[in-house]
Structure 1
Amino acid sequence: MQTKPSISLLKPIVHAQEGLQILLPMTDLLLRLYVAKIFFMSGLSKLRDWEMTVSLFTDEYHVPLLSPEVAAYAATGAELLLPVLLVLGLFKQLAALGLLAVNFVAVVAYYSVLQDIPAALQDHIEWGLMLMLLTCSPANLFQVDHYWGRRKTKHSI
């Protein structure tokens, strides 16, 4: 017959978990910085050679439902705006969800090439998982949404 661990044995584990909670805001910030850099740099590379970007969207990337020009503008705009919002933590969940959509469309549109480059496909999978985590995580100390939410709560009382 198994006995339940005594409360005194669980106290160090509970204290360790509480201590690790302090790392969550910093971890969230580092994750936002990492993912934002990837997408922002991609947006900048699209801007550097716009003719090549439109050509890629015409010949290589097969974005469903959008013309190549509209897809190029939408992808570039999203890759430049959403990472900034993500880093600031302004509409963080919405920005992360938007980048998740960009990542998903990129995989769908470019899957014929990505399936032949396992490392590139793995990158997109990892970015998607990171963005899903950011989409689901609440506001914290290192983002504008945290302070905006507190301000709105104070004024509504």
Structure 2
Amino acid sequence: MTSKPCGPGSRGPKTGCHETPEERADRRWGELLQELRVAQTGVQILFGFLLAVVFQPRFAELSDTDRAIYVVTVMLGSAAALIGPVSYHRLVGGRRLKPQTVTWASRLTVLGLVLLLCTMCCALLLILRVALHDSLALWLVGGMALWFLVCWFVVPVRALARSSRERGN
């Protein structure tokens, strides 16, 4: 079974044209792994920073609210490790489930990115609360959260919707 023929302007196999489902799954898996490598580096740096915060002398001076924000941030950071897709692949690999594996790994990656967004916003809130000592921190974090949402999710979803409309799907 082959995929649908590509439209005008396609340039061959590297665009996903004329791939079998297995070839498409292999290509998508390779692309997903590259994306995970980029995201995991950022998560590791952020999580390392978070783990070090508790050992700083000023940590004892944090208010109960700031400590609660810290704990939530660390928990979100540990959940956003983005290792799930690799584990999923390792457990089901070799069982002729590559297309399904790529689909589920992609979903786990999106979930990991949502958790990373929450981790970044919480870490930013904690840092700005300590730095500014006022309610401006919450507004600044809200603005950054909106920026992240637009860049990470809204723009890609709009591009996908536009592409679907142009193809008549």
Smaller-chain TM-score bracket: 0.3 to 0.5
Using structure 2 for the length normalisation, give the TM-score. Answer: 0.40
Higher relative contact order (CA 8 A, sep 6+): 1
Using structure 1 for the length normalisation, give the TM-score. Answer: 0.42
